[in-house]
Amino acid sequence: MIGPDARAVEFASSPKRDLTLVRGSLATLWDDAGKEYIDCGASFGVGNLGHCNPAIVEAIAAQARELIHVGPSFGTTAKAGFVDKLLSVAPPNLKRVFLSNSGSESVEAAIKFARASTGRKKVVAAMRGFHGRTMGALSATWRRDFREPFEPLVPGFHHVPFNDVDALDKAVDSDTAAVLLEAVQGEGGVHVATQEYLPAAREICDRRHAALIIDEVQTGMGRTGRLFAIERWGVEPDILTLAKSLAGGVPIGATLTTEAVEKAFHGSHTSTFGGNSLACAAGTAAIEYIVREKLWERAERLGNEAFETLRGLDARSVREVRGLGLMIGIELRGKAGPVLQALQEDGVLAIGGGSSVIRLLPPLVIPEEQWSRAIDAIGRALQHG
């Protein structure tokens, strides 16, 4: 090893896995001892296109020779190309794009746009929801242990039970700027919105003139079996947040809005690295790849096969298997930690979603043979768990 182990000096703000990774190729990762792993966490949902996808590597290398970064107030061909590409596949009512660097930043922008376009203060979010760790996004996030050490948070945030239409209807009033929801709650343990919930949220927002923000940071870009999860509910949000896999592994965030939101917006908001040329070139290549390969169809097919196998397991440790496409949550009767550790030893990297849920977010490009091996290993771990 050269120099100190980075994990020893990194600020210990989140639990660490006892693993140093050195190389990746699509759904395969290698550690510093040369051991091979099947990646079923895809870097917390960043890796829809897999590790070092040649299309992304090429795009980054070519862009790095041309222009890496200029401030967000300048136009670049990389940014123009990406924004065009993104709007060509986005829900058709969304016509404006704000670019940033992460999911949290895309949510911060969404909250600011909603408040400054409605002139209202209140934001209604869901229990078990996760929207990020910066102070605004954290205020919309539910988990108490994430929130409490940093209080006081931003005022004006209210949480209602997910999938409860009456509770949402009661919470949204004439001072509500926005309702902020995930279509599938990822970090909260992979809970899918009911078929009636998101259309009802749309109707409530329309009736009270509040903005509907759908956070697709984790569900977007093919993960759930549609390019955007919201397509399944036939709902058009006023604001949509994207990040994670949007640029094939390069940091990016995007907040898409309607023209009406932009027109009513009074204020300013910007981000130094927003619209970074490397990220935009990677983002254009990522969208082209996802669309060319119809990765959402692959996610749907491989996901359905896995649901059938996992639901058919005779494993007393499993309470429920739920999700959409290649966003799969396995709720256990006990803790997820020991099963995740056993899987790691068996060469499969999965992630948690709350303390008792195993979350699978494999790259959408995972070869079928590798996916079957991963599901077999997961079955073994669950039957012994």
Question: Known catalytic residues?
Answer: 130, 215, 244
300 near ligand PLP, judged by CB under 6 A? no
- The reply on whether position 103 binds ligand PLP by CB under 6 A is yes
Q: Which of 39, 108, 187, 238 binds ligand PLP (CB under 6 A)?
A: 187
Axis-axis angle for helices 277-293, 295-311 (nearest 10): 70
Going 231 to 160 to 103 to 51, the CA torsion angle's sign is negative
DSSP 8-state code for residue 159: E
Interface characters, 231-250, with ligand PLP (x: CB under 6 A): ------------x-------
In this structure, which amino acid lies at residue 14?
A: S
82 binds ligand PLP (CB under 6 A): no
Element (H, E) at 86: helix 77-89
Instruction: By CB under 6 A, tell whether 44 contacts ligand PLP.
Output: yes
Tokens standing for residue 92: 């058709």
Q: Taking Cα atoms as reference points, which of 302, 300, 304 lies closest to residue 366?
A: 302
Residue with smaller CB distance to ligand PLP, 63 or 104? 104
Rg (CA), the chain: 20
Please tell me whether residue 329 binds ligand PLP under the rule CB under 6 A: no
User: What phi, psi does 114 have (nearest 5°)?
Assistant: -65, -45
The answer to the question of residue 131 lying near ligand PLP (CB under 6 A) is: yes
In the bound state, the residue with its beta carbon closest to ligand PLP is 103
Distance in Å, CB of 129 to ligand PLP, minimum: 8
**Count residues contacting ligand PLP (CB under 6 A)?**
15
- 206 burial (CB, 10 Å; 0-12 / 13-18 / 19+) is exposed
**Residue 224 to residue 324: CA distance in whole angstroms:** 5
- Pick the binder of ligand PLP from 82, 130, 162, 233 (CB under 6 A): 130
326 in contact with ligand PLP (CB under 6 A)? no
User: Which residues here bind ligand PLP, judged by CB under 6 A?
Assistant: 44, 102-104, 107, 130-132, 182, 186-187, 215, 217-218, 243
